[in-house]
Chains A and B, each alone.
Chain A
Amino acid sequence: MIVFDGVTKRYPDGTVAVDELSLEAPTGQITVLVGPSGCGKTTSLRMINRMIEPTSGTITLDGKDTKRMKEAELRRGIGYVIQHAGLFPHRTVLDNVGTVPRLLGMDRRETEKRSMELLERVGLDPAFAKRYPAQLSGGQQQRVGVARALAADPPVMLMDEPFSAVDPVVREQLQDEFLRLQGDLGKTIVFVTHDIDEAIKLGDQVAVLRVGGKLAQIAEPAYLLSHPVDDFIADFVGRDRGYRALSFQQTPRLPLASERTVAMGESVKDIDADWVLVVDDGNRPLGWVEPKRVAGDVTTEVLHRGGTVARASGPLRASLDAALSSPSRRGVIVDDAGALVGTVRAHEVLTAIEETDRPELEDPQRPGAAQAAPRTSGA
């Protein structure tokens, strides 16, 4: 656990980057620091591994005051990932990953073996091992950055906008893999981002900072979306927060209708329906077709792929989105194996939402964050 206790960073010119920050980053969880530029989130992060020294207050790591630890030793026990990865351009991917184990005195062979395992773990082809960072795409570099941070198996990871510099598709991939990895590893992670959507998606708890380095609110993502403490937070978490909060609500039992399906290559000319769902031989949905517009058999060219597919066990947001995005207005629901279980209409999902309680999670207050007392927002 990382604990900030009344931490302030004031620069000689009088600027206050971080103002009396108190918060806890619990062991094995992801704590996201989010806020507009100038809110001191990166400064706060860097005070943990003492890249920046606090002016006052203490930061403890599992109860030990970081000020009493040797800088280099403290840092070798903390993984660090930054935007653009900050890889060493003069070292191969393999050597980059092995940096901290080598600093800790692990022998070369052992380090290389471990580095290869890690490359695989972060989803990078072993063929990249002998390449240099400049020969990799931004997304691949970022994977190497994560592997390098994990190399010495540190209990703590600091991540400073690690996924901001890659395109949205790759970013989402990296985020999903990061969550999967964290599910296996259970590191204590402090993650900085300016993107509230990323914060909501990745954080076990989200700390919103305001300009001047003051903690505005710290809570679990669902709570933050449903109970912003003031206008700043309400503004910051965004307009469609009601919709986004559905990401955190399990889909209840929906009244599913059975759907007529056809296989690829079958004819649909005798079917009297506006839209028909096409499935593969495992009953997995492929897309919709409109029988009156299809001359011959169903081919991939005539498939309408606009509709999203939601898992029955997934969040409400996905179920609602499946209904809203479907050309037939019938949202496709599948089981965990991806096989069709039925369809649902938007109003049925909405009824289910209305019957669900708004998330009233346990009090997310942490000691020392008194200014962030929750109240139900009237907005």
Chain B
Amino acid sequence: MTWFIDHLDLVWTRTLQHAYLAGLPLVIGLLLALPLGWLARRYRPLFVPLIAGFGLLYTIPSLALFVLMPAIIGTQIISPTNVIVGLTLYTLALLVRTVADGLGAVPESVKQSATAMGYTPVKRFFAVDLPLAVPVISAGLRVAAVSNVSIASVATIIGIPQLGLFFSDGFSRDFYDPLIVGIVGCVVLALVFDGVILLLTRAFTPWVRATGSRA
């Protein structure tokens, strides 16, 4: 406990670094997953390759991915970009399917009537399909957020500062205080991410609480 109090500044800094490394890929991943999920829904032949392809990304061990990243995108080995890009891929692995599922869950009658009322395809996507897919997408986003917070700590291996450094620090010195601080920090950060997503979802889906339904 005294270690924690003595190192408050360091803990705070690494928490922010961790939040950045885990959070930015979540945002980028979501923005990329929306068009990809839409493509998978819109063009039948693309569905299986897109969903299966991005799903497979998740099976690549994070350690290997972070280490290989410089060779693939030409970054420095200690660049945080490696982690950002890697975690973005994991986010996509989870979200492309979720977005496709969410868009697929929009009732056909609703889509038909939107089209019949004169929505152009682009307008319909943003005004009808996407808002109705929010509950499903949000569920996937919460999984991805927790997963990102957890995987980001692996960046320790390539020397990128975040909460994971406390684990290696604790292990190497056989001193558990930083280890526990690191774990608690990750859990708290994951809970904060989850809470923010939940609040945003509620703000975007007033009808869900009013009616107690998902769509």
Contact = CB atoms under 8 A, between A and B. Distances in A.
Interface in B90-116: 107, 109-110, 112-116
B112 A89 contact: no
B116 A80 contact: yes
A103 B116 contact: no
Contacts of B213: 89, 134
Given A90-B132, A103-B118, A80 B113 contact: yes
Interface in A78-133: 78, 80, 82-91, 99-100, 103, 131-132
B117 A131 contact: no
A76 B118 contact: yes
Query: What's the interface size class on A, roughly?
Result: 20 to 34
Interface stretch (B16-24, B60-68, B203-211): B203-211
A51 B119 contact: no
B191 interface: no
B120 A72 contact: yes
A82 B118 contact: no
A75 interface: yes
Contacts of A89: 107, 110, 132, 207, 211, 213, 215
A135 B211 contact: yes
A122 to B, nearest CB: 16
Interface in B106-151: 107, 109-110, 112-120, 123, 128, 131-132
Most-contacted residue by chain A among B116, B128, B211, B215 (CB, 10 A): B116
A86 B115 contact: no
Contacts of B117: 75-76, 80, 99-100, 103, 148
B198 to A, nearest CB: 18
Contacts of A85: 113
A274 interface: no
A74 B107 CA distance: 24
A90 B109 contact: no
A73 B109 contact: no
A78 B210 CA distance: 31
A31 interface: no
B44 to A, nearest CB: 14
A265 B113 CA distance: 55
A51 B205 contact: no
A86 B123 CA distance: 17
Contact of B210 (A71, A73, A87, A131): A131
B116 A51 contact: yes
Contacts of A158: 116
Contacts of A100: 117-118
A49 interface: yes
Nearest to B124: A72
A103 B116 CA distance: 12
B41 to A, nearest CB: 18
A134 B119 CA distance: 22
Nearest to A81: B113
A75 B118 CA distance: 5
A132 B116 contact: no
B116 A88 contact: no
A103 B119 contact: yes
Interface string A128-162: 00011011000000000000100000000010000
A276 B30 CA distance: 77
A87 B107 CA distance: 10
Interface in B153-176: none
A72 B211 contact: no
B112 A88 contact: no
A76 B211 CA distance: 29
B118 A86 contact: no
B203 to A, nearest CB: 13
Interface of B: 107, 109-110, 112-120, 123, 128, 131-132, 205, 207, 210-211, 213, 215
28 contacts: A71-B118, A72-B118, A75-B115, A75-B116, A76-B117, A78-B116, A80-B117, A82-B109, A82-B112, A82-B116, A83-B109, A85-B113, A89-B107, A89-B132, A89-B211, A89-B213, A90-B132, A90-B205, A90-B215, A100-B118, A103-B117, A103-B119, A103-B123, A132-B207, A134-B211, A134-B213, A135-B211, A158-B116
List 3 tightest A-B contacts by C-beta distance, closest first.
Answer: A86-B113, A76-B118, A134-B211
